[in-house]
Structure 1
Amino acid sequence: MGIAEGVLETGFAARNGPVLSAAGLSKRFRGRRVLDGVDLALPGGCIAGITGENGSGKTTLLRVLLGDLRPDAGQVLLGGSYGYCPQVPVLHPSLTVAQHLVLFRTAYRLTGTQRAEVLIDRLNFASCLAQEAGALSGGTQQKLNLTLALMHDPDVLLLDEPYQGFDHETYQVFWELAAELRDRGRTVLVVTHFVPDSTPFDVLLTLSGGRLAVARDAR
């Protein structure tokens, strides 16, 4: 049936096998059950979305999948490297865009920043390289946030409300990048309360009452 009994699979999982999987995830906060036995299996070459109302537990689930938050029960298996784009950009306000690239190049143990520079060109904020992050607009901070999550070319990309603050052109580029990642066998998971168009997703899931359900599958 998949990686574990009862695991929710996308239509791609049987062909490719799961790259990101979770079984039986449960989490309580102050007596309230936020996650209630969440199961998930996502393969390589997939764009998946998890949607739900504010407070439904989407960010909690993402933090558990990342390993940033320990579940009360259940397990997560992640195959390969991951990139994370949090809802609120984690940037040093006094460092310039270029300095962030150097900092993350060192953290990722990369030999250069060429991939980041290509992403910056695609996202159209090369003119901001010398600006401090604290002086950037919210949308440009989110562009930098996305660039830093992608510059080491991760196998799995986890995104929390990634396109808030983007104008229409940047929104389109975002989905172009996501499709290119999928075509190269990467897994992209977008967590958002707002889905203006479900077309880019291969599978769209809803989180409600602590459980995941398929809203739309590409099978």
Structure 2
Amino acid sequence: MSAPYASPLALRVSEVHKSYGARQVLRGVSLELGPGTLAGIVGENGAGKTTLLRILCGQTAADSGAVAHRGRLGYCPQETVLNDFLTVEQHLRYFQAAYGLGDLRRAEELVEELHFAEYRRARVAVLSGGTRQKLNLTLALMHDPQVLLLDEPYQGFDWETYLRFWSVAARLRDRGRCVLVVSHLAWDTGRLDCLYRLHDGVAEPWQPGPAEG
């Protein structure tokens, strides 16, 4: 189950289980996040982070358990959801229609903030990996979702863009949005309000030591 709901929480995950054949990936993941929260989930490769995100956004069905979110949902997958034959501008127009937006004001703000306006007329096929990821993030954010799920969102970013990403995330949090960042490394944990570690199929509150954070 994944649906909007009436609650002071922005995202509620209750006892989510998922197996692939005999392999148990998620063994009862539960967490609750309120509006205005910048949260993180870390875990080793293969820990089930992407599976969990796909369940949270409704792409994959859980075997059992429940997921509920408040308001619009945004999802930025690790693999970009882009068409190599379309330009940046065409992607923005396509998603504008898909989201039912009256204008591209929010998208244009993000394009400027992430510094890739010069590529608006360029086809995705010629873009660098970092610029593709900027567009991927913009498409997930342009409808101003109340809950945002980000899977390795800064992959391919240079240092300046990496810092801009965190500025964008912090402003979203300050505007009451719930932002969940998933990564295999516990980088910049001081920027987060809370951090979970996905291990052995469950998510536990985690405070990394100096060498890990």
How many corresponding residue pairs? Answer: 202
Q: Work out the CA distance in 2 between the residues paired with 1:73 and 1:30.
A: 15
Give 1:68's match in structure 2, choosing from 36, 59, 82.
Answer: 59
Q: Deviations over 1:8-38 (max 9, x none)?
A: xxxxxxxx93211011100001211100011
Q: Over the residues paired in the alignment, what is the CA RMSD in angstroms?
A: 1.2
TM-score by length of 2: 0.93
Query: Aligned runs of 1:51-66 on 2, under 5 Å?
Result: 51-66=42-57
Q: Deviations over 1:81-115 (max 9, x none)?
A: 01110001010110000010100000000011111
The letter of the residue matching 1:153 is D
Which runs of structure 1 show a deviation greater than 6 angstroms over 4 or more consecutive aligned residues?
A: none
Give 2:174's match in structure 1, choosing from 156, 165, 183.
Answer: 183
Aligned residue in 2 for 1:21: 12
Aligned residue in 1 for 2:163: 172
Q: Deviations over 1:65-85 (max 9, x none)?
A: 111111111011111101110
TM-score by length of 1: 0.90
Is 1:214 aligned to residue 205 of structure 2?
yes
Aligned residue in 2 for 1:10: none
SS at match of 1:69: coil
Aligned residue in 2 for 1:13: none
Structure 2 stretches of 5 or more lacking a match? 1-6, 209-213
Identity across the alignment (%): 53
SS at match of 1:18: coil
Give 2:137's match in structure 1, choosing from 125, 142, 146.
Answer: 146
The letter of the residue matching 2:139 is L
Aligned residue in 1 for 2:96: 105
Q: Work out the CA distance in 1 between the residues paired with 2:161 and 2:186.
A: 16
Aligned residue in 2 for 1:163: 154
Q: Work out the CA distance in 2 between the residues paired with 1:203 and 1:134.
A: 37
Q: Work out the CA distance in 2 between the residues paired with 1:191 and 1:159.
A: 6
Deviation at 1:116, TM superposition (A): 0.6
SS at match of 1:50: strand
Structure 1 stretches of 5 or more lacking a match? 1-15
The letter of the residue matching 1:159 is L
Q: Deviations over 1:106-150 (max 9, x none)?
A: 000001111111111110000000100111000000000000100
Q: Work out the CA distance in 1 between the residues paired with 2:103 and 2:126.
A: 25
Aligned residue in 2 for 1:94: 85
Aligned residue in 1 for 2:3: none
Deviation at 1:153, TM superposition (A): 0.4
Deviation at 1:209, TM superposition (A): 0.3
SS at match of 1:121: helix
Deviation at 1:216, TM superposition (A): 3.2
